[in-house]
Structure 1
Amino acid sequence: MLYSREFQKKVVDEVTRRIKALENEPYVPIGVSNRHIHLSQIDLETLFGEGYQLTKMRDLKHPGNFAANETVTLVGPKGEITGVRILGPVRSETQVEISITDSFPLGLSIPVRDSGNIAGTPGIIVKGPKGTLDLKEGVIAARRHIHVPPEFAEKFQLKDRDIVTVEIDGERKTIFENVLIRVSDKFVLEMHLDTDEANACGIKNGDVGIIRKGQENLCP
């Protein structure tokens, strides 16, 4: 079937209109975060040997961050989880991020915390090929959050440490409350959920949500 040029132009114009409309709404792509560990250099060397450097398996969305080829085993009071991916680059402090579901077979009771806020959290044993760490603290379930570049924050009047609500459509349409905004020029726009949150709501990497709280103030 052949369509007239006028009809084709109407279709193109409508598609263009819808794309531009999306640009003026606070939509955010979703990234689902599986269990992983961030290591300090000294702890990396304890696990893998003196002077060891992580090797990159693949880049992550945020510039300079990557999933390493190296993995470790987490050992809790009741059980262990093998093949836990290390994320690079190294950090100043070691931090283990798992889901609440992961905590059960390990025999741990873990809090939901912002990344880096590990004071008073449970410890765990970490096994590598060359050594073992006995962490006294550092195991958390990461608080749901959105990484926001400054231009998006300015456009939609968001500030670092704001708390927002995000709606995600789909068969299990969900509204997430208490979502932390983190603003940095090192960030690429992305909302991070853990596997418990994503699986319960049928969400996968690349799905899209929209920031709803204060919607009247989020449209430029």
Structure 2
Amino acid sequence: MRTILNYSLKFLLFLHTLFMLLEPVQAQDSLSNTSISIHWVNSLPGDFSFRNQWSYPEGIYRNQFGQLCCDGLCPDGTSHMRNAAGMIYQAYLKKYYQLIDTTHQFYSIQSESNCYEFGQVYFIKAVHDKASNITKCHTLTNVSSHSSLNIEILPLGCKASIELNSIKAATGKQTFHCTSGQIKIDKVAWQAGVLKAAFSFQFYNHLDVQTPLFWKGKIFTNID
């Protein structure tokens, strides 16, 4: 009888431990289908002047000689075009600028967030899939930001998540699903192929359930 009781207690302890291990995963999965209603407006108010600001592609800077140069991972065949001080030889200027990208990249998002490994992001891409009638958006990561905001604009709402590709091996890749929030989209701009929106999302933080994550801001970008 005592042996049976011991086995029963061990089995119950095993089930309790298994439940505790699976609970965060189940909670995370249960939030993955949260849909946020879209508030469509004819003319979205607010300051969207950030779209007139721009920067050069990451890794491009102006040297002490006033020349635009690449820093870090430069295209092959450019190292011999600069002297020891970093100046581009006059004879190589035209060829050099054929190899590196110095276009002006205009900002398409202005936002703030408390997500992990977030410095700041300035660019967001929006692509419309005609087959599914879903517009998928994602912010571009950079040297200081390893979290990306992902938004899916559906026919009857939208879903959002944060994708973290951590530089810390122990953290790795993580997905944080939206639990609540709001988004307003300019209907006139949308019909013209432009996503003009203001949003504020909250996310379930399975790494620290006591600290919800947020991401809020404005978007102004062409829809490809």
How high is the TM-score relative to the length of structure 1? 0.29
Which is higher, the Rg of structure 1 or of structure 2?
Answer: 2
More contact order relative to length (CA 8 Å, sep ≥ 6): 1
